[in-house]
Structure 1
Amino acid sequence: MFMEKRLSIEGLFTLSAVGAFAGSLVCTLTGKGAVYYEVVAIVLFIYMVGKMLGNRSREKLFEEVDKLRASFDYIYIQTTDTTGRTQIPLTKLTLEDRVVVAPGEAVCVDGIIVSGEGFVKETAFTGEIEPVSKKVGDEVFSGTYSVDGSFIIRPKTLDRKIDLLLSMIEEARQTPSALMEQANRLVKYFLPIVVLISLATFIGWTIYDSWMPALINSMSVLLVACPCALGLATPLAIWSGLWKLAQLGLVSKTGQLIDALAKVTHVVLDKTGTLTEDDLCVSDFIALGEYTNIPNQVKAIVRAVESPIGHPVARALAVLPQESTGESLSVVSSRIIAGKGIKAIVVNTDNKTQEMEVLIGEKQLMPLNIADAFKAPFSDSKKEIYVAINNQPAAIIRLDEAFRETTQDALLELQKMSLAVSILTGDTHKKYNDVHGAKILYGISPQEKDEYIKDIQGKGDKVLFVGDGINDAIAMSESSASIAMGGASELVKSTAMGTLLNSNLSLLPKAIALCQRVHRSVRGSVLYAAGYNIIGMSFAAAGKLHPVIAVLIMLVSSAFVTSRAFRAVRER
């Protein structure tokens, strides 16, 4: 009944249930009057359902946090035996140990590379899908992954960045919602008033008549003041809106999403994986030298070499568009050169004597005698992949992010709704000044995203954050509303209020408009129901309202709120 020494909304449920039970018990024991045990059951059911949903949501989040943390809790350290490494728990790691990371494994420590070279995927902290080349002397962080290289790492600190990130997520999610705090502030004043009216009614009717009508009338006051318009009808109305959102492809885990989206004034979006597709794509293909007139042959060779490889760059090259050359190619051998690219031997199966040595990767992989031949007529920051065949320059392939087809429509529609729109990215390359009129900020870390959200919300804005990476989770927890993309990790989905299953961004403006309609309808209905209950309390105190009628009034006000919300959901 108390929360941090303050009366909470639970007090109204408790009083209503206790009042109905006490009155019914007295009538049962005395054999006089009617009993209302079913009213007790209704009130307790409303309370228990709300509590259960809240607990399930909170437990799910903490399970995902613990699961992610556990995946980084065991570390391989360097040894002198035949295996070269042994696994130990994180708690036994010392700064004198040397951590060994193999290709495809997670980096479980913050430290400095003392041996090895290769690509590291830092999506968890930067949000960028493009792996970063790392070499001796470079710093790496726990929560990242080695794509193709083997590393030996010297721990820099035992206080890992991933632990700080997960702790901030947990702390943010344990903060009470603004809506609950607001409701409790109102109940802090409303609940004593209800108690005083009920008590005054009992005393007055006891003096005026007898204890039996006094008990019935005081119980009527408690029942008509039961917050069922908030505890039953409004949640039903909210869930009808959430059902409609689910039909659109936006699935929520909490009814707060309706209210939160309805109040949004500023939409903040992550760039990579949110506005853009999950993988890189080929933006330009430039054939060079003797291959200038036969680009499709080079494309066919690149596709053959890269298709079996799961590297993010390889996935983009494996779907390189081409016209059929009529040739059948076979990759005889291939070797990944960590941090640089791939070297392969390719033959034409129709002419097996035609063996080709193929190099695909960074410029430093290319032979020195032809490196100067790779000059692209571009000055922007797109990633470039170089191809050499038989020690001759063959092509320059430029990779870039591809914006989702729905990005433009979503950004333009949000701005038409008079909503401010910002884009945050960990990418340090300033490719665009804005995206369809929305400003974009570069080089933003997870903590800086959090500070940015705090800053604009401190100025009065209500922020919706849309993202997909672990690096977005803190900002999501800080924002008034948050939505995860369909391809996001389970931790991010647990942190967000809702998940956009099909990653269709054009649904965002539709969802916000729907929530605004439902919110206006529910707010108006609750105000009406509140006035209705005040009148009901007056009639109850005057002895003009039987407990059964009080329950009916409560149900009528609840049904009225619900019907208004249903109509709002059906509006176009």
Structure 2
Amino acid sequence: ESMITGESLPVEKSIGSPVIGATINRSGMLTVQATSVGKNSALAQIIKLVERAQSSKAPIQQLADKISNIFVPIVLAVAMGTFIVWWLAQGELTPALLRMIAVLLISCPCAMGLATPLAVMVGMGRGAENGILFKSSEALQRIQDVDVVVLDKTGTVTEGRLRVTDFLNVPDTVFSEPELLRIAASAEAGSEHPIAAAVIEFAAQQQLDVSHPDQFQSVAGHGIRATVGSHQVLIGNDRLMQQSNINTSSLRDAALSQQAEAKAVMWIAIDGKLQAIISVADTIKPDSVDAIRRLRDRGLQVLLITGDNQATATAIAKQVGISDFQAEVLPEHKADAVKKLQDSGKVVAMIGDGINDAPALAQADVGIAIGTGTDVAMETADVTLMRGELSRALDAIKLSQATLRNIKQNLFWAFGYNVALIPIAAGVLAPFSNLPDFLRQLHPIMAAFAMVASDLVIVTNALRLKRFRF
């Protein structure tokens, strides 16, 4: 059920247990009765939540558009006023026309038009070069205002796949550790269970020769029985050991300690005697701890919301340094949790990778998808981190802040340039005979050169974003 809950391990089902459409039966046979179909299914409800949240997002008005809406009419009025004043003052048409044309040329709103889209284009391009894809310019602008970051667990903070974390044998075993691991991996070679895949991968990393078992039996919900060479192998949980009268007391404390760290512990018995325990877990990504610390150092509140069980959520949150977390949260309730934060005045970024995260990604002010996750998550999100690194979320925020700062610099220059030079083009310096002629009577050609120079300043400033360092 990982697609819905984020739970890394398969969930055991018995008579009367609810099952979710599109989840996978990993072993055994089952008969299911449909209780919800079509628009009432769990998947359809998730799609409905995504569509509702996406439609409620209002686009951000561009600052440049606001200025341009006022700027253009004012320039036209100033140009016409300049023509009328100088025509009436001098009684000559040509000087008045030249001043009017100079005003129109020097105040051409090209600078205003370039200020925002050019910086956005360069900023988004710089992000793409480093695996940060912004779906829109609005996303690039919104992410700088985030003050709360909500994290999913599976595939976001953790790898999203099981790996062997511990292998511990009993003190009096007659087998060497490599031989024990080889026998266990060979027994698991007959299983399709995720834990089996983790054990086999671990053995392969140790360069052990893993073979297929001579006989194999899957004990649903408990483990496996297998024959490897001359050995009878039993690998499974507590209940399988109890049913087989295997004494587990020698490794009981170690097993309990590892279970407290949200690890799944499997007991290994060979020829009727306990030989070892092997633990697997969805391991934390290498950069998660540092990324979360850096987010908190920037004053951002970091929360963990997962569909996984309470014990696993507690252990993972402790390992990565998150004190505020929620466990066993269904997809629709994740979106509700995000909305509750928004209602309290917070600007929320949601980071996730699965189908179960889609409603929350859509609800958040900024949805950030891990690029190694599902297509649904990436389609719903505003930003995609293609390299799957959580640290890139902070890089996206920093890039957004740098881009918005660049836009404001461009707009300040464009506005200041026009405020300074439009009056000169209109002839306010004409009465001052001690000034150079080109200032007292600004020729349209000079005005055109000034306009181009202004555009070049903005282009050069925007291109500085290409040197932005993450």
TM-score of the superposed pair, with normalisation by structure 1: 0.65
Query: What does residue 349 of structure 2 align with?
Result: 464
Q: Distance in 2 between matches of 1:542 and 1:143?
A: 74
1:343-375 CA distance string (max 9 Å, x none): 33322xxxxxx2x33333344444624155376
Is the partner of 1:146 in helix, strand or coil?
Answer: coil
Q: Distance in 2 between matches of 1:229 and 1:220?
A: 15
Partner amino acid, structure 2, of 1:413: R
Is 1:343–2:225 an aligned residue pair? Answer: yes
Change (3 A) 1:323 1:174: closer
Decide which structure has greater helix share: 2
Change (3 A) 1:323 1:166: closer
Q: Distance in 2 between matches of 1:550 and 1:143?
A: 66
Is 1:127–2:6 an aligned residue pair? Answer: yes
1:79-124 CA distance string (max 9 Å, x none): xxxxxxxxxxxxxxxxxxxxxxxxxxxxxxxxxxxxxxxxxxx122
Is the partner of 1:162 in helix, strand or coil?
Answer: helix
Is 1:157–2:36 an aligned residue pair? Answer: yes
1:4-40 CA distance string (max 9 Å, x none): xxxxxxxxxxxxxxxxxxxxxxxxxxxxxxxxxxxxx
Q: What is the Cα deviation at residue 312 of structure 1?
A: 1.9
Query: What does residue 516 of structure 1 align with?
Result: 401
1:381-414 CA distance string (max 9 Å, x none): 5322233334443433222221111112212222
Query: What does residue 526 of structure 1 align with?
Result: 411
Is the partner of 2:121 in helix, strand or coil?
Answer: helix
Is the partner of 1:132 in helix, strand or coil?
Answer: coil
Is 1:437–2:321 an aligned residue pair? Answer: yes
Is 1:376–2:252 an aligned residue pair? Answer: yes
Q: What is the Cα deviation at residue 255 of structure 1?
A: 3.0
Q: Distance in 2 between matches of 1:172 and 1:223?
A: 45
1:120-172 CA distance string (max 9 Å, x none): xx122212222211121111122422222433222223311211211222233
Identity over aligned pairs, percent: 28
1:349-364 alignment, distance < 5 Å? 354=230, 356-364=231-239
Does the 8 A contact of 1:202 with 1:218 survive in 2? Answer: no
Query: What does residue 454 of structure 1 align with?
Result: 339
Q: Distance in 1 between matches of 2:120 and 2:74?
A: 32
Change (3 A) 1:195 1:447: same
Q: What is the Cα deviation at residue 292 of structure 1?
A: 6.5
Change (3 A) 1:161 1:559: farther
Does the 8 A contact of 1:217 with 1:545 survive in 2? Answer: no
Change (3 A) 1:176 1:322: closer
Query: What does residue 118 of structure 1 align with?
Result: none
Question: For 2:308, which of 414, 427, 430 is the aligned residue?
Answer: 427
Q: Distance in 1 between matches of 2:345 and 2:244?
A: 61
Query: What does residue 259 of structure 1 align with?
Result: 141
Does the 8 A contact of 2:187 with 2:226 survive in 1? Answer: yes
Query: What does residue 274 of structure 1 align with?
Result: 156
Change (3 A) 1:161 1:286: same
Does the 8 A contact of 1:469 with 1:492 survive in 2? Answer: yes
Is 1:140–2:25 an aligned residue pair? Answer: no
Question: For 1:239, which of 116, 121, 124 is the aligned residue?
Answer: 121
1:434-477 CA distance string (max 9 Å, x none): 34432241322222222222232333333222211111122222
Q: What is the Cα deviation at residue 273 of structure 1?
A: 1.0
Change (3 A) 1:139 1:222: farther
1:224-252 CA distance string (max 9 Å, x none): 464x5565442222232223223333233
Q: Distance in 2 between matches of 1:548 and 1:492?
A: 54
Is the partner of 2:184 in helix, strand or coil?
Answer: helix
Q: What is the Cα deviation at residue 270 of structure 1?
A: 1.4
Q: What is the Cα deviation at residue 429 of structure 1?
A: 2.4
Query: What does residue 563 of structure 1 align with?
Result: 460
Q: Distance in 2 between matches of 1:320 and 1:533?
A: 67
Q: Distance in 2 between matches of 1:448 and 1:323?
A: 40
Q: Distance in 2 between matches of 1:482 and 1:490?
A: 14
Q: Distance in 1 between matches of 2:447 and 2:35?
A: 68
Partner amino acid, structure 2, of 1:502: R
Change (3 A) 1:126 1:263: same
Q: What is the Cα deviation at residue 318 of structure 1?
A: 1.1
Question: For 2:69, which of 191, 208, 216 is the aligned residue?
Answer: 191
Change (3 A) 1:269 1:327: closer
Change (3 A) 1:276 1:501: same
Query: What does residue 500 of structure 1 align with?
Result: 385
Q: What is the Cα deviation at residue 300 of structure 1?
A: 0.7
Q: What is the Cα deviation at residue 306 of structure 1?
A: 2.7
Unpaired runs of 5+ residues, structure 2, are: 429-440
1:35-184 alignment, distance < 5 Å? 122-158=1-37, 159-180=40-61
Question: For 2:193, which of 311, 324, 329 is the aligned residue?
Answer: 311
1:384-399 alignment, distance < 5 Å? 384-399=265-280
Does the 8 A contact of 1:149 with 1:339 survive in 2? Answer: no
Does the 8 A contact of 1:522 with 1:564 survive in 2? Answer: no
Partner amino acid, structure 1, of 2:195: V
Q: Distance in 2 between matches of 1:554 and 1:410?
A: 45
Does the 8 A contact of 2:189 with 2:213 survive in 1? Answer: no
Partner amino acid, structure 2, of 1:495: T
Change (3 A) 1:312 1:324: closer
The number of residues matched between the two structures is 439
Q: Distance in 2 between matches of 1:343 and 1:549?
A: 89
Unpaired runs of 5+ residues, structure 1, are: 1-121, 348-353
Is the partner of 1:134 in helix, strand or coil?
Answer: coil
Query: What does residue 82 of structure 1 align with?
Result: none
Change (3 A) 1:234 1:155: same
RMSD: 3.9
Partner amino acid, structure 2, of 1:437: G
Partner amino acid, structure 2, of 1:141: I
Q: Distance in 2 between matches of 1:155 and 1:548?
A: 78
Q: What is the Cα deviation at residue 274 of structure 1?
A: 0.9
Q: Distance in 2 between matches of 1:454 and 1:554?
A: 47
1:298-330 CA distance string (max 9 Å, x none): 211121233465432222111235998998754
TM-score of the superposed pair, with normalisation by structure 2: 0.78
Q: Distance in 1 between matches of 2:141 and 2:169?
A: 55
Q: Distance in 1 between matches of 2:359 and 2:205?
A: 46
Larger relative contact order (Cα-Cα within 8 Å, sequence gap ≥ 6): 2
Is the partner of 1:384 in helix, strand or coil?
Answer: strand
Q: Distance in 2 between matches of 1:180 and 1:552?
A: 31
